[in-house]
Structure 1
C-alpha cells in the first residue's frame, strides 16, 4: 500500500432539526460565549436562522450576525466581516449557510486574531498559528465546505484564488437536513450535481487518491444519485434531503483529501466571467469533461457505475461499464431539470476563447485531471457544452 494521509473535521453530528438546539450544543462544546454568526441576507430574511438564534441567546451567547455574504464572495466581504468581528471582540465563529458563508467563516476565524494579511494566505499551507473556535452548519447539499480545508475568494473582476490550510477544518459540524427543505428545485439540482462532481473527481484524482477517500466518494455518489431526482421533485422529502446532505458532506471529505480537477477548473471562469453559480457551472461542464477523460479514466469510471445506479446488464467490458456510468450521469442531470447548455445559462459564444484561456490559470486543479488538458482542449470542451 502506498503511504497516505487522511484529514477531516474533528467532530460531525447529524440531527434533523438540530439547528434549533444549537445553543445547547455549543454551550456544551465550548466555553466561548461571544459568537460571530456568518450568513447571507436572504437566509436571514427567510426566518431559517430564527430558531438557531433563539437557542443561542437562551444558552447565554452574545451573537453578532454578519449577513452580508454573497455568492462567490469578494475579498471585501471577508475583510468587512473580520472588522465587524474584531469590533465586537468575538471569541467563536459559526458559519451558517451555503458554501460562501462557510468559506467566509473559515477565514474570518483565522484573521480575527491573526497578524497575517489576507494576501499572504493564498496558496497551500500559508496560514500561521491557530484560529478561533469554528463551527459549521450547512443549509445546502452541495459544496461540502463544512468539511474541507479550502476557501475560495473572488480577488478581482473575474479572478478567484484559494486558501488551503489545515486550520480551515472546523472543530464541529452539524448536519440538519431540515434546513435544506426550502431550497428550490434548480438550486437543489445544481448543488446536488456539484456534490456528485466532488465525488467523481476525488475518485479519479491523480494526486492523493487513497482508500478512505475512495470509500467516501463511492458512498457519496450512491446517496446523491439515488436521491437527487426525488429531492428536486419534492423538496420536503425528508429521506431525500437527509441523504443529499450527508452525501454532499462525504463528497467534501473525499475531495478535501483527493483534490478536484478539470470540471472545477473549467467551472471557475464561468463564475468569474459570466457570474454563473458554482454548482451550476460544474453541472454544465461535467458531461463534456467525463467524455474527454474516458480514454484514461475508464477503469475508474467502470467502478463508479454501480454506486451511480447505472444499468449494468450486458455492459460487458470495462469500457462498456464506463460508458454506462457516463450515460447514467447524463440521465441524472437531464432528470434534475438543471440547464444542460452554456447558451441556456446566458453564456455568449464569443466568450468561449476567453474562458478557455482563464481555465489554463487553474494549474492546481488541472494537475489532478486523469488526462492532461491544454487550452485547445478547454476550448473544445466549452464548445461541446455550448
Structure 2
C-alpha cells in the first residue's frame, strides 16, 4: 500500500429534521451575522424557512443570497461575496444543491481572506483563511458537503475549479426531509451523478487512490444502486431518501480524496456550453467512457459491478460489459435522455466540446486510460 492523505468534513449530522433545528447544530460556530447562500427554487419552495426561523430564534442576523443558478457563474459568486461584505458576514451557510454549496464554499474563502479568486483556481492554490462554513445539501448527488472542490463557470462557458482542503466545511447537515419533494427527474440525474462519483473514485489513477476511498465508493454504490429506483418511484420514502443522501455523501468522501476522471471532464463542456444539468451531463457520457476505459482496465469494473447490481455477482466472463449495459438500462428505466442529441446538442458542436474537455487536465490525469482530443471526440460521437 502506498502512502496517502485522506481529508473530509470535520463534523457531520445525519438526521431527518436536522435542518429545522439548525441553530442548535451550529451553536456559536457562525457568529451573529450569517450569510445564507441558496437558489430561488429552494426559497420559493420554503425548504429553508425552518432553518432560517431556527437561526432567527437564536438571535442571529441572517442575509439570504438566493440568486444562485445552475452552473453558477463568476458574476454570481462575486455578487454573493459583495452581499456578504456589505452585511458583515461572520459565517456562511450553503443550503441547496451542488451549485449553492459550491458558491458558499468560495464565498466563505473570499470573505475570509484577501486572496484574489484567479490565484485560487487549481489544486492546492487556495490559501485561506475562510469564514466558518456549514453546508446543507437538498439533493443526493454532488456530495459537495464533503468535497474540497468548487466548480464555477467562467468566460467562454469554461468550467473552472478550486480544489483545496481549506474549503471543506466545518459541518455538513444531512436531512433527508429536505429531499422528500425532489422531482423524479432531478432525483434520477443527481443519483446517477453520485454513482459516477463512486465509480470514478474507485478506478481513479490518482496517486492518492487509497483503501478508505475504495471502501467508501463500494458502500456508496451498494446504497445508491439499491435505492435509486425506489426514490424515483416513491418520492416520499424517507428511508430510501436517507440511504441516497448517505450514499451520495460517501461517494463524495471517496472522490474528494481519489479524484474523478474522464466522465466528469467530458461532462463539463456539456453543462458549460449547453447548460445541461451536471448529473445528466455525466449520465450522457458515462457508458461511452467506461467502454473506452474497459479496453485496458476491465478488472476494476468487474470488482464493483455487483455492488451496484447484485444480480451480476455470479457472473464471470463479460461482467464489465454487463455492468455497463446495466447502467444504460438503469438510466432508461429512470427516463433519463439517452443521447446528446436528445438534450439539443448539435453534431457540429462535438469538436468544440472535445477541445474544451482537454482543458480539464486535472481530471483527465486520473483516468484509467489516457484520453486525447481525438479520443474525446470519438466518445462524444458515440454518445451523440
1:225–1:332 CA contact under 8 A, matched in 2: no
CA-based RMSD of the aligned residues comes to 1.2
Question: Are 1:197 and 2:203 matched, yes or no?
Answer: no
Give 3-state SS (helix, strand or coil) of 1:209's partner. Answer: coil
1:310–1:324 CA contact under 8 A, matched in 2: no
Mapping of 1:238-317 within 5 angstroms? 238-312=238-312, 315-317=315-317
TM-score, scaled relative to structure 1: 0.97
In structure 1, what is the equivalent of residue 372 of structure 2? 374
> Of 298, 319, 325, which residue of structure 1 is paired with 2:323?
325
1:103–1:151 CA contact under 8 A, matched in 2: yes
Mapping of 1:26-41 within 5 angstroms? 26-27=26-27, 30=29, 32-41=31-40
Which segments of 5 or more consecutive residues in structure 2 lack a partner in the other structure?
A: none
* Runs of 4 or more consecutive aligned structure 1 residues displaced over 6 Å after TM superposition: none
How big is the shift at 1:37? Answer: 0.5
Q: Deviations over 1:275-330 (max 9, x none)?
A: 1111110010101111111122211111101211242365223xx22223222212
Mapping of 1:2-21 within 5 angstroms? 2-21=2-21
In structure 1, what is the equivalent of residue 101 of structure 2? 102
| Whole-angstrom CA distance in 1 between matches of 2:131 and 2:323 | 43
How big is the shift at 1:23? Answer: 1.4
How big is the shift at 1:361? Answer: 1.4
Q: Does the C-alpha gap of structure 1 residues 299 and 31 become closer, same or farther in structure 2, counting only changes over 3 Å?
A: closer
How big is the shift at 1:30? Answer: 2.0
Q: Does the C-alpha gap of structure 1 residues 40 and 313 become closer, same or farther in structure 2, counting only changes over 3 Å?
A: closer
Q: Does the C-alpha gap of structure 1 residues 314 and 170 become closer, same or farther in structure 2, counting only changes over 3 Å?
A: closer
How big is the shift at 1:78? Answer: 0.9
Q: Deviations over 1:93-138 (max 9, x none)?
A: 1000010110111111111131111111111111223111100000
| Whole-angstrom CA distance in 2 between matches of 1:86 and 1:357 | 38
Q: Does the C-alpha gap of structure 1 residues 113 and 5 become closer, same or farther in structure 2, counting only changes over 3 Å?
A: closer
In structure 2, what is the equivalent of residue 149 of structure 1? 148
TM-score, scaled relative to structure 2: 0.97
In structure 1, what is the equivalent of residue 63 of structure 2? 64
| Whole-angstrom CA distance in 2 between matches of 1:235 and 1:152 | 28
Q: Deviations over 1:171-212 (max 9, x none)?
A: 001000110112111111111001100000000000121100
2:38–2:65 CA contact under 8 A, matched in 1: yes
In structure 2, what is the equivalent of residue 177 of structure 1? 176
| Whole-angstrom CA distance in 1 between matches of 2:358 and 2:111 | 34
1:311–1:324 CA contact under 8 A, matched in 2: no
Give 3-state SS (helix, strand or coil) of 1:326's partner. Answer: helix
| Whole-angstrom CA distance in 1 between matches of 2:112 and 2:365 | 34
| Whole-angstrom CA distance in 2 between matches of 1:153 and 1:353 | 23
Which segments of 5 or more consecutive residues in structure 1 lack a partner in the other structure?
A: none
How big is the shift at 1:347? Answer: 0.7
| Whole-angstrom CA distance in 2 between matches of 1:139 and 1:102 | 10
